[in-house]
Every structure is written in C-alpha cells, then in structure tokens.
Amino acid sequence: MATVMETQNGIKQTLAYPQKKPAPRVWRLLKAYPLVFLGGILVLGLIFVAVFAPQLQHFNPNQQFQNGLSAMGGPLPPNSTFVFGTDDLGRDIFSRVLFGARVSLEVGVFSSIISLFIGTSLGIISGYFGKFVDTVIMRLTDIMLAFPLILFVVALVASLGQSITNLFIAIGVLGWAVTARVVRAQVLSVKEYEYVQAAKALGASNWRILTKIIFPNIIPPVIVLTTLSIGNNMLLESTLSYLGIGVAPPNASWGNMLAEGQQVFQYAPWLLYYPGLALLLAVLGFNLLGDGLREAFNPRRVR
Amino acid sequence: MKINKKTRLLGVVASVTLLGAALAGCSTQPSATSQAPTTPTAPATTGAQPVYGGTLNLDLAGAFPHLDPVKAYDTTSYEAVLQFYNQLVTYKGATNTIIPSLASRYTISPNGKVYTFYLANAKFWNGHPVTAQSFITEFERVLNPVNSSGGQGFIDPFIAGSNAYYSGHAKTISGLKSLNGGKTLQITLTQRDPVFLYVLAMPFFSAVDPTYIAGHSESYIDHNPMGTGPFYLASYQPNQQWVLKKNPHYFQKGIPYLNEIVFTNNSSPSAELLHYKQGLTGLLGYNIGGNGIPSQDYLPIVMSPTYSKQVYKVVQVATQYIGLNNKVGPTANVKVRRALEYAINKNYLVKVLGGRALPANQIIPPSMPSGYEAKLPANATYSYNPALAKKLLAQAGYPHGFTTTIYCDNSNPDDLRITEAVQSMLKAVGVTANINQSSWGTFLTNNETGNQPMFNLAWVEDFPDPSDFLNTLFNSNQRPVNNSTMYSNPAVDKLLNTAANMPAGTARDNLYKQAQNIIMSQAAWIPYAYPVFTAAVQPWLKGYYLNPNQVDPLQYVWIAKH
Amino acid sequence: MISYIIRRLGGSVIVLFGIALITFILAYAVPSDPARMILGQHATLQQVDALRKQMGLDEPFIQQFGNYLMNIIHGNLGFSFLQNLPVATLIGQRLPATFQLALVAWLMELIIGLPIGVFMALKDRKMTDHVFNLVSLIGISLPTFFVGLELMYWVAYRANLFPVGGTGGLSFVILPGLTYGITGAAYYSRLLKSSMVDVLNSDYIRTARAKGAAPLRVIMGHAFRNAIIPVITYGATDIGALFGGIVVIEDVFGYSGIGQMAVQAINNLDTPIIMGTVLFAAVFVVAFNFIVDLLYGLIDPRITY
C-alpha cells in the first residue's frame, strides 16, 4: 500500500496540472474502489427499468382496480396478482415503481441539467472574465447558497404552480450555485497555467482559450457534481412530495409514492418499502458513482 | 363554509368546522344510525356515577391561532373558545335544538323581530358579573372593522343599526338594548331571521368582560382569554402546551368534572395515533384541526379489533362535491354537466374514503334537520352509468370528450385521492382532467374567481339550516365567492329570497326543496359524499358524545378509574 | 484584516438584501389573497377591500418592499397575518426548541460521522473502508422522513424508549436529532476520511511513525488534529443551516420548530412569517460562513486577506 500511495503522491505533485489522467490510473482506482462498480450497476439498472418500463409492467400503472382495495377500502398486501401489493387507490405498486423510475430519473436528470447549464456558464464567465462580473455573480451564488433550501423550492413551486416542468426549474435553479463556484475555482486555477498565459500572449482568442483549454479542464469536476446532484435531486423530489408539492398525480414518482406510503406505513408498510427501496438503490448508485469518479479524477478533492 | 377537510400541515386556516351530526337515537336522521357502531347519545356512562378530578391529555394538531372569540373562525380556535367562553344560547347535548345558556330564558316577539334574553347569574373568572353590556361590547367588537371579525357577515345587516355601526355612521348599535339594570338584553332585528338563534350560538357572540377588554390590547386578549367558561387558561408555552384548569365557580352547577386539560402541540398524525395507542391521550380525532381521526390513522384504528370498538361515528352536516363551472368551458353546457353526473361512481369514492362517508345524491345532507329529500324527482336523480355518460356527452357535442382541469388543495391526503379517483372515472368516459393541486390559500383565492372548470371541495354548515347550503352556494348574488360554480337561475333566486324571510316550517322547507330539485336537474354540482365524523375515545373516558354543531363536550366528560 | 472584515460584512448585507428581495418577489407572485383568508367566506367584498388597504396590500410592489425594508431596519419583522402576533415574537417562541434540535442533530452527525471517518481513513481501501463507506452512503441516500418514521415506530413506539412525537424537553429531541444524524453523517465521515488520508500520508506523519511514535498517538495527536480543520469548516456552515430549522424532520415528529412554522406560513401565505423565517435562517448561514472565513485565517496561516 505504501508504494501505491507513494506513487500517487508523486503523481499528485507532478501531475497536479493539467487534470487529464492516464487511463491505467483510473483503472487502478476502480480496482481500489469496488463500490464504483456497484454504483455503475445500480445506475445502469435504473436506466434499464426506466427505458423498458412499458415492457416490464404488469398493469397500466394509473389504473385503479376495484378489486385492488380490501373490503375496508385499504390497500392490498403483496399477492399473486399484485406482486408488490396495491396502493390506497387500488393501483398496482409494481407497475408504478417501474414507471416511477422514469419520472424520478427525469426529475433528477433534467433539474441537474438546468443547474449544470446555469452553473457552468456563470462559473466560466465569472472565473474567466473576473472583476465586476465576477463580484456580481459570486454575490448571486452567495445569495443562493444562503437560502434555506427547501423553503426556497416550496415557495417557488407555490408561486409558479405545481407541474413537473416547474419542479425541474425549481430544483434546477436551486442547485446551480455550487456548480458555479466549483467551475469558477477550476477556471481560475487553469487560467494561471503557463501555457494558457503563453497562448494568450500568442494572441489566441478568448473563445479559443475557453473551448480548447478551459472547457476540457472543468469537465471532470462537473461530471462528478452532476452525478451526485442527480441522486440528490431525486431525493429532493421525494421530500417535496412529502410536503405536498411534488410530481402531480396520477403519474407515479417514487417521491409521491413514498409520500402516500408514509401516511399508511403503520398498517400497509409495503407502500413505503418498495418505492423506498427503489429510491434508495438509485440514489445510492449515483452517490457511489459520483464518489468514485471524484476519487478517480482528483484524489485530493473532498466534497 | 368551504372547508379543506383537514389541516395538518397548515395548522391555521380561515375556515370553521361546525361539525353537524345526526346521531343514533336522535330523531332527526335515521340514515345516520346505520353508520354509528356505538350509541353516542347514550355512552357507556349510563348508570355509572361521574368521578371528579383528573387530567385529560390531548394532542393538538396546531397552535390555537386565536383565543379571542371575535377572531375564532377556524376549527382549532373554535375548540378553545368554547372551553373559555359562553354564549347566550347553545345546542342541547347531541341535538340541533337550541337551549338557553348564559341567557337563562328568552322570548321572541310574534313578528320574529325582537328577542329578549334574561341573563343567568354568571361571573367571569375575575369575579366581574355578566351583564347585557358583556354582549353589547362583543357585538360591537364583531362589527368593528378594526377586528376583521368573520362574525360580521352573520349579523350585519340583520341586527337593527348594525350596518350603521360597522360603517362608522353610528356610535352604538341601535338594535341592542340593556334593560332591567343590565339583567336583560333586548335585540331588535331588521327582519324576521329564522336562523338567528343558531347565529347567537356561534363563539363570535360570547360574553366578554367590558372592563377587561377596555384594559388590554387586542393582541393581548387574543392570547389571554377572560371568560365565563368551564375551564380557564392556567398556563401555556407557546406552540407547545396549553394547560386548562377547572373553573370552580362555573355558572352551571356540578360541572366540569375534570380538574385539568392539557393540550400538547403535535402536528404529526403518525405520532398522534401512537400516543392514543399508548393510552397517553384520551381522544383521537376530536374536532381540533379538522374532521375526526386523521385520514391516515383511520384504517389502523378500524382494522384493529380493540380500537375499532372505541370509534364514534356521526354524519356531518356537510357535503363533498365536484364543482362544475356553469359559466365557462364545456361544463357551461347543461347537457355536459348532466352527462358527468353519470360518470362518477360514488360508492367507489366512499370506499376510497375508507367508509368515512355516505354516498350523496343531493346538496342537502341527510343530517340536516330540514330540506333533505328522501326521494328526488326523476330528472334530478343520477346513477353511475358510464355508458350513458358517454352517450350524453356525444349528444352534447363531445363524442371524443374534452380536456379540462380539476382543482384541489393539498391540505388533506383524502382530497388528492378522491380527485385522482374522479380523474380516472372521467378518463373512462373520455374526459381528460389534469389535476391542479395547490395549498389551501391558493386554491381558495383561485376558486373565488369563479374560473375553475372543475374543483373538489366540501361545504360544512355554519348552522343547521338549508339556507346555509342553498342560498349561500347557489344564489346568483353569491357569485363568485361562495357560488364559485357561477350557477345562476332567476327562478331559483326567487325561491331562495322568498324563503329567507319566512318563518321556519314546512312551507319554507318546501321552497328549499323546490330550489334543490331545479339545481340538481341542472347538475350544477356533482355531490358525491356526506362525510362521517369519527373519533376514537379511550374506554376510561366517560360521558363523551358527538354533538351536532359544537365541539367536544369536554365539560361533561370524566375519567373513570383504570 | 480589518478592511477584509468590512468588505466581508458589506457582502453579507448585500446577500441578505438579495434574499429578502427574492423571497418577497416569490411571496408576492403567489396567486392568493391574505385578506380573504383572514376574513373568511362571509365577508363582503367591501370588507375584504378595506382590510387589503389596511394591510397595505393594494400598494405597488416597490412600495410594499420598501416599507418592509424600512421596518426591518427599525428592527420590526412585521406582524403575522393570521396569528395576530409580531413575527419576531413568533420566531422567539420557537427559538429554544429550534436551537435544541439543531444542536442535538449536529452532535448526532458528529457522533456517527467522525468515528466512521477515522476508521475509513485507517482502513483506507480495505474491506472495512468499503463497508463503512457503503453504510454511511446508504444513510444519505434515504429520504429523511423515511428514516424518521421508522425510528418513530420502532424506537419510540415499539421499544418505548423516547416520546413518539411533539415538543418538550430533551427526550423529544433525541429521535429527530438521530434522524438528521443518520442522514447527514456521511458528509462528515467522507470529509474526515479524505483529509485524514492526506495527512496520514504526509511526510511528517511518516517521520513520526518511523521514529516509533505509538500509532494511537500518531493518529489522535497528529493526524486527527490536523485533519479536523476542514471538518470544522463544514461543521460550522452545517450548524448555521440547522439553526434555520429542519423542515421535514420537524414535520414528521410534529416538532414545533421554525421550519414547521415556515412551511405552514407558505401554505397559509402568511407573507410576514415567510419573510421572517427565511431571513432568520439566512442570517445564520451568512453569519456562520463569515465566522468560518475568519477562523480559517486564524487556523491556517497561509491564508492572507
């Protein structure tokens, strides 16, 4: 182990810039972090379920079965017809979990893309052009970061109205500040490289420097952040559903299934456990993957 | 009033639940009997001797927003104010009958305009006596615009001089007189008002101590009550705990039995259920914060052999309905509305509610003392028939259905479940309804513009009279705020306006029935359920009953040895 | 240094102003009428209009916001629409409960997170590391309300160890705090682990080891002390955020903290409370960030201002 670390330390010092790593090192890290594989498998599994939900479904996920409710009007436990049981409207939980994968992944991905887009653009502008623009943008990120997270989204959805698009926007708008800060820091450090200075001196245009040098260097941290934020946003969607402002019915998301399930968990825990397990595995997958990628891209970086 | 059935997350809403009820053994509504597993009017206390003393612990879903009767216009405040204050009249036990309270007796003039109340010998907690001025002060406070009291609309313009006082044109209310050295209160009305005694039983019109009112700020009074009630507020920790102690000088001899009631703030329905199961709280689903046992706690209670025996049920004087816009969109067409009536399976909706409702076929609930029709005319009767619904839609010009939006609020999980079930039934007849769910405040503001194509809402009585349903919700002069389906029919208006000033009786009831028949035949609404109020009561808590129009009879309950 | 502090303070004021502005816009944009909500169904339109006027709701946006800012500058957070008390009083009433929960939640994170972090660093890339890592990641991958409900059911109800819910003394705070600890500990363990690995591989630790210093002494005396700096930084911002209230956990356990009040206010459109609670939370975040920045300068002499 000592030698590995020593080599790494050596790499750390000599290869601190630029950030691109030789492939074999990534491979070694993957071996050192088997959890990354687990993460990858979980994420691929999630994508598979989301894509093939219509093929895998047992029933129409939104259909309310009259025989899906007990005589008392309660949900049915898992049985041969409804393998994961039914929910409190007599719908098949198995099929809803499958389709929930779609919606939850959509929320995770689209809101992360929004954060990614805003955060990266503002981060680059801020870091590269500096001065007044930088001050303004950084102040803005300070404001965003100081906002009580959930209150902001709740208030935003309350004023925009409840729809899945507004949910993407609310979560996305919330998440860009961290990305912007990371990107800016990265741009600042890359900007100081001698070869960037040299390129500038040789008269390379801003555009060329941005696209050819700066942009490739900010990709690794941004990938890590985005991977982690997909998982976090899926989790945030469940929280918002719990607060009654998640994905609008009747479409299932794991979040609104959990929100329904938490009401009845004392006597119908399957409403909570199946979507809960699905959400756990998916978010865990993104967390493991993001964590591993971070280690792979930069062993010094923490959170 | 319009009501969001449950206010868990909200804590505070501008709505009142006056939970009306027809009880087992109560002559008004036999249909309720089948729903009541226990006999609330004759609780297990019969024959047993009440025991004095003890502390009753109760969970409170949210802080008491107001302890000032002038401002108490939400379920939670209502509960507290009725423990702290008394009114001139009140409801008798578990009935809709009005009996004297702080007025030991009263007379009404033959023309129905002059009410004379002879006051009982009662004292405020500070020892000051109750006089006619105690009420006059309170009426003035209700009418003072500064207080923004929800009670104003109930007496203005019905009490003579009330509007002049409200608008600042008069220094006193000419219709209120203190007679006989303050021992008698005389109220003069501008016209006959058959619901006036019901109005006087509302907490708005409690006796307050004029010197206390004069000596303290409005905000102070709102948090530090001074009343005549069975319990006084001994101490409180804001948002955590309210301790109520027995008023030893209560003007009704022999009660209350309890020494102390402790309300603990606990907004979590899951925790509330577990507290009840642990035996820590005496009641689950008393009126505070909504309509009975929290929706999510109901099935675990009724599915348990032990706890299901402790459940009290009673049909509320309330109707849950899908409002259809009578003015804009496809539902402006009466044929479309009539078609949609056939699309809704009300029995299924009742099942979705876990049986906490009766299927509805008309606007007036069966628990209303008058106005409910045992049999509706054929053209006002609808049954579940999706094939017919489709056919009628095609005849109305929508063979492929249409797309619309159905609004609901997010304060109670039941609302969304019902709306989703309705959505799926509409889908079955080709109508695509998107759900727009929002907070109660947003929903209500939007609803009152009269522009919602469809909405899921409930109406709970202010008092047990059909006018409170039909006139408030369907008179064209109530558009768009209360009549938010924008229903307008001159024939109905005429019936309602005529009935409003008639003395109570069959003639008046018949006018309301006629009005309802017309409204139902035009399918202004889809009434789908009459909610059932439920409460679970510990076996050791005796003397409990569900009374129709007021909140829990905490002054009458006692704790048996256990 | 002084000029840095002044600049930094100026920045904080701008941040708070921005938050106030954005919150006000959000609250203003919600389609709702507080006057109608207060007065109820039986109020006439004229009555509603009168109240709107009285509450200043008919004034243009800029003027309403201006009034609001002027009031804040005078230390007045406004008056709750629905609860008939000053917002400052309402926040004050919930302050003790909120702080109690914040502190316990934070301690729980540390109690769970830090030992795991140390173990992970010592067993870097061994099976123990992976297992601990997985376990702590499962913690942050679970919805908080899920964890809260399970704890409530099993620990409070079945095992009867703590009160099920509500607000009271310390015993009411343990489970909500533990919920937060479970779902947040991984941030600390990962942070501590990676900074400890860095320190453990640094030259001076290897020197100390080579000289034969006892392993535990090396770990606790040198590595932990040096590696804890980023953890303190994160911890300070974390508790800053916690002081603003924990919305979901408060709701699950029916705990009367500031987070619960804020969500209720959003649902009731009680704008003064929404503004008050958001600003209150933001002030703590900003203040703790400020403290962290200053601390950083004290701890790490390489940083100059």
Residue A124, classed as helix, strand or coil, is helix
Do B82 and B202 share a domain, yes or no? yes
Please provide the average confidence, as pLDDT, over all residues in chain B. Answer: 85
Return the pLDDT at A104.
92
Is A159 in contact with C30 (Cβ distance < 8 A)?
yes
**A contacts of B414 (beta carbons < 8 Å):** none
Q: Which two tokens stand for residue B9?
A: 């997350």
Interface mutation target, options C14, C37, C137, C279, chain A, most CBs of A under 10 Å: C137
Do B349 and B216 share a domain, yes or no? no
Last residue in a domain, options B221, B236, B260:
B221
**Residue A300: pLDDT above 60?**
no
**B contacts of A249 (beta carbons < 8 Å):** 416, 419-420, 423, 435, 437
Nearest CA in chain C to B149: C39
Q: Is C215 exposed, middle or buried (0-12, 13-18, 19+ CB in 10 A)?
A: exposed
Identify the band that residue A4 occupies on the pLDDT scale cut at 50, 70 and 90. very low
Return the pLDDT at B452.
95
Any CB–CB contact under 8 A between A62 and chain B?
yes
| Dist CA B426 CA B332 (whole Å) | 17
Give the model confidence (pLDDT) of B372-425 as tens digits. Answer: 999 999 999 999 999 999 999 999 999 999 999 999 987 778 888 899 999 999
**In this structure, which CATH number among 3.40.50.300, 1.10.3720.10, 1.10.10.10, 2.60.210.10 belongs to the domain C95-269?**
1.10.3720.10
- Of the two residues B1 and B106, the one the predictor is more confident about is B106
Return the pLDDT at C113.
93
Do B212 and B322 share a domain, yes or no? no
Is C264 in contact with B16 (Cβ distance < 8 A)?
no
Give DSSP secondary structure letters for A251-295: S--HHHHHHHHHHHTTT-THHHHHHHHHHHHHHHHHHHHHHHHHH
For the segment B123-136, the average pLDDT, to the nearest whole number, is 95
Is A148 in contact with C241 (Cβ distance < 8 A)?
yes
Last residue in a domain, options B171, B199, B221:
B221
CB atoms within 10 A of CB A26: 16
| Dist CA A249 CA B416 (whole Å) | 8
Return the pLDDT at B41.
35
Return the pLDDT at B4.
42
**Residue A18: pLDDT above 80?**
no
Place of tokens 């004050």: C92
Nearest CA in chain B to A159: B442
| Dist CA A100 CA A261 (whole Å) | 14
**Residue A5: pLDDT above 90?**
no
Write the residue in A89, A162, A266 that is nearest to B437 by C-beta.
A162
CB atoms within 10 A of CB C170: 10
Give the model confidence (pLDDT) of A63-117 as tens digits. Answer: 888 888 888 888 999 999 999 999 988 999 999 999 999 999 999 999 999 999 9
Interface mutation target, options A150, A157, A162, A265, chain B, most CBs of B under 10 Å: A162
Identify the band that residue B14 occupies on the pLDDT scale cut at 50, 70 and 90. very low
Interface mutation target, options C12, C131, C145, C204, chain A, most CBs of A under 10 Å: C145
Residue B255 maps to a domain: no
| Dist CA A264 CA A258 (whole Å) | 10
Identify the band that residue B141 occupies on the pLDDT scale cut at 50, 70 and 90. very high
Task: For residue B172, give the CATH number of its domain.
Answer: 3.90.76.10
Is A5 in contact with C201 (Cβ distance < 8 A)?
yes
Residue B276 maps to a domain: no
What is the domain range of residue B151? 20-53+62-221
Instruction: ipTM value, please give it.
Output: 0.85
Identify the band that residue A2 occupies on the pLDDT scale cut at 50, 70 and 90. very low
DSSP-derived secondary structure letter, B250: -
Percent of chain C whose predicted confidence (pLDDT) is above 90: 22
For the segment C108-118, the average pLDDT, to the nearest whole number, is 93
**Residue B340: pLDDT above 90?**
yes
**A contacts of B438 (beta carbons < 8 Å):** 158, 161-162
Instruction: Report the number of distinct structural domains present in chain B.
Output: 2
Is C264 in contact with B11 (Cβ distance < 8 A)?
yes
- Of the two residues C303 and A296, the one the predictor is more confident about is A296
CB atoms within 10 A of CB B270: 28
Q: Contact A257/A87 with Cβ under 8 angstroms?
A: yes
Give the model confidence (pLDDT) of C179-190 as tens digits. Answer: 999 999 989 998
Q: Contact B338/B519 with Cβ under 8 angstroms?
A: no
Is C248 in contact with A243 (Cβ distance < 8 A)?
yes
Q: How far apart are the CA of C197 and the nearest CA of chain B, in angstroms?
A: 43
Do B181 and B322 share a domain, yes or no? no
**Residue B35: pLDDT above 60?**
no
Is A249 in contact with B419 (Cβ distance < 8 A)?
yes
Return the pLDDT at B20.
29
Give the model confidence (pLDDT) of B52-108 as tens digits. Answer: 999 999 988 777 878 999 988 776 788 789 899 999 999 888 888 899 999 999 999
Return the pLDDT at C59.
86
Residue B385: partners with Cβ closer than 8 Å, 6 or more residues away: B342
Return the pLDDT at A267.
84
Is B440 in contact with C267 (Cβ distance < 8 A)?
yes
Identify the band that residue B38 occupies on the pLDDT scale cut at 50, 70 and 90. very low
Task: For residue B447, give the CATH number of its domain.
Answer: 3.10.105.10
Is C152 in contact with B154 (Cβ distance < 8 A)?
no
Return the pLDDT at C294.
80
pTM value is 0.82
Write the residue in B270, B295, B424 that is nearest to A250 by C-beta.
B424
**C contacts of A146 (beta carbons < 8 Å):** 15-16, 19, 282, 285-286, 289
Percent of chain B whose predicted confidence (pLDDT) is above 90: 57
Identify the band that residue B550 occupies on the pLDDT scale cut at 50, 70 and 90. low
Last residue in a domain, options B221, B249, B265:
B221
Give the model confidence (pLDDT) of C267-295 as tens digits. Answer: 777 888 888 999 999 999 899 888 888 87
Give the model confidence (pLDDT) of B308-328 as tens digits. Answer: 899 988 888 889 999 999 999
Write the residue in B145, B222, B268 that is nearest to C253 by C-beta.
B268
Residue among C36, C152, A108 at smallest CA distance from B150: C36
Q: How far apart are the CA of C214 and the nearest CA of chain B, in angstroms?
A: 51
| Dist CA B165 CA C282 (whole Å) | 46
Write the residue in C31, C43, C252 that is nearest to B442 by C-beta.
C31
Return the pLDDT at B286.
67
Give the model confidence (pLDDT) of B158-184 as tens digits. Answer: 999 999 999 899 999 999 999 989 999
**C contacts of B475 (beta carbons < 8 Å):** none
Residue B185: what are its φ and ψ, rounded to 5°? Answer: -120, 130
Any CB–CB contact under 8 A between A239 and chain B?
no
Please provide the average confidence, as pLDDT, over all residues in chain A. Answer: 83
Residue B433: what are its φ and ψ, rounded to 5°? Answer: -115, 120
Q: Would you put residue B161 in left (φ > 0), alpha (ψ -120 to 50) or beta?
A: left
What are the residue boundaries of the structural domains of chain C, listed by start?
2-73, 95-269
For the segment B33-44, the average pLDDT, to the nearest whole number, is 35
Is A288 in contact with C244 (Cβ distance < 8 A)?
no
Return the pLDDT at A197.
81
Return the pLDDT at A207.
84
Residue B403 maps to a domain: yes
Across A10-24, B429-443, C35-49, which has the greatest mean pLDDT?
B429-443
Interface mutation target, options B198, B267, B278, B436, chain C, most CBs of C under 10 Å: B267
When mean pLDDT is compared across A112-121, A124-133, B194-203, B285-294, the lowest value belongs to: B285-294
Return the pLDDT at C68.
86
Strand partners, B263: B58, B242
Return the pLDDT at A24.
66
Return the pLDDT at C42.
59
Residue B142: partners with Cβ closer than 8 Å, 6 or more residues away: B70, B149, B151, B152, B155, B204, B205
Q: How far is CA C153 from CA B197, B199, C138, C149, C162, in A?
A: 48, 45, 20, 6, 11
| Dist CA C17 CA B118 (whole Å) | 60
Mark out the alpha helices in C30-158 (DSSP H runs). Answer: 34-39, 45-54, 61-73, 87-122, 127-140, 144-151
Is A235 in contact with C11 (Cβ distance < 8 A)?
no
Nearest CA in chain A to B10: A243
